[in-house]
Amino acid sequence: MSTAMAHALNEGLRSVMEEDPKVLLIGEDIGRLGGVFRVTDGLQKDFGDARVVDSPLGEAGIVGSAIGLAMAGYRPVCEIQFDGFVFPAMNQIITQLAKYRHRSEGTVTLPVVIRIPVGGGIGAIEHHSESPEAYFAHTAGLRVVSPSSAQEAYDLIRMAVRSDDPVIFLEPKHNYWLKGEIDRAATPAPFGSAQVVRPGDDLTLVTYGALVPTAVKVAAAAAEDGRSVEVIDLRSLSPIDDATIFASVERTGRLVVAHEASQTAGLGAEIAARVQDAMFYSLEAPVIRVTGYDTPYPASRLEGDWLPGLDRILDAIDRSFTY
Q: Are 116 and 90 in contact (CB under 8 A)?
A: no
Query: Residue 72 in 3-state DSSP?
Result: coil
The Cα 306–Cα 120 span in angstroms is 10
The Cα 152–Cα 176 span in angstroms is 12
* C-alpha dihedral sign at 126, 61, 80, 44: negative
Strand partners, 206: 232, 257
Pairing of strands 255-262, 236-238: unpaired
Quick check: bond before 239 cis, omega within 30? yes
Query: Residue 35 in 3-state DSSP?
Result: coil
> 84: closest CA among 121, 38, 116, 115?
116
Catalytic residue numbers?
Answer: 128
Helical axes 212-224 vs 310-320, angle rounded to 10°: 50
Q: Are 41 and 15 in contact (CB under 8 A)?
A: no
Strand partners, 240: none
> 296: closest CA among 97, 91, 132, 72?
132
Query: Residue 53 in 3-state DSSP?
Result: strand
Pairing of strands 255-262, 203-207: parallel
Rg (CA), the chain: 19
